[in-house]
Amino acid sequence: MARRALGPATLAAVRAVESSLDPSDGCLLVACSGGPDSLALARAVVTVGARRTLPIAAVVVDHGLQQFSADRATETATTLTTLGFGDVTVRTVTVRSTGAGPEADARLARYRALDEAAATRDATLLLGHTRDDQAETVLLGLARGSGTRSLAGMALRSGPGARRLRPFLALPRSVTEQVCRENDLVWWSDPYNTDPGYARVRVRQTVLPTLERELGPGIAEALARTAVLARDDADLLDALAAEADPGTSTLACQVVEGLPPALGRRLLGRWLRLEHGAPDLNAGHLYAVEALVTDWHGQAGVDLPGGLRVRRTDGRLELVRPDR
């Protein structure tokens, strides 16, 4: 790629990537869909890799869910090669139904492929989520009513071995689009991103613009800031819950009773998820399970998603599957 002066948006993107890196980061692997966010990320990584003499690579995931998806993946790979990536891989995945919905199923297949690509290269996987994506995630978490953790949004680092890195969480989507314009990069617009059948699209197209109009500008930035604060609080509560967790298959009610309510509910959630793999818990589920401890009057138990039931026996909580 011919050298040219960095435009202001490109410079902001480069700085965002540089400031997010740790000394332990080696190979930088960009997940690129061909959209403006991931193309802007790829452009920034080219500069950062050269400045820091770090190896760079890119991976494009073809979900096979749309006509000509293979052609678009190949076109994106070609663009990445033109940008300066010598190591570009297209990975085709099979999206299997899990009952969680097509968006969640595609995300599961995508991350599995991306994590495998990162592990193969011992690389840090860079994702192009922006401040706008973070704001949308916080609003969706608020709608679920699942507590502080759901408001924490996406972490800067996450995933297996904390390999996933999101450098653009403080940058608005308008900046990534401007990066593409500054570098003559033509992005692809996924039609799923404008389909109102998806809750995230309705948040993006209707909810956030309405909030901006009625409450004033800066809503996305405020929501992203809320995510940072909520994550700090959630991390502290999780750490305290881990200390209080006896690590047993059943949980003594007196252990929960001796904790402040916020910490007690966090311990219950940890016990249900880690000890028993209970999926998709919301605040209503936790309040109902908590009542088995704090408002016990002989309830039969609490039914949870996945065909699970929590019941109280001899002062202890246990998880059972009534259909077995």
DSSP class of residue 275 equals I
CB atoms within 10 A of CB 42: 29
Max distance between CA atoms of the chain, in angstroms, equals 74
Q: Which residues are annotated as a binding site for ATP?
A: 33-38
In order of 61, 105, 118, 193, 195, the CA distances from 100 in angstroms are: 20, 7, 25, 18, 18
Burial of 125 (0-12, 13-18, 19+ CB in 10 A): buried
| DSSP notation for 12-49 | HHHHHHHHH--TT--EEEEE--SSHHHHHHHHHHHHHH
Q: What are phi and psi of 158, to 5 degrees?
A: -160, -175
Helix (H) or strand (E) run with residue 157 in it: strand 157-158
Work out whether strand 56-62 and strand 88-92 pair parallel, antiparallel, or are unpaired. Answer: parallel
124 CB-contact burial (10 Å; exposed 0-12 / middle 13-18 / buried 19+): buried
CA–CA gap between residue 178 and residue 194 (Å, rounded): 20
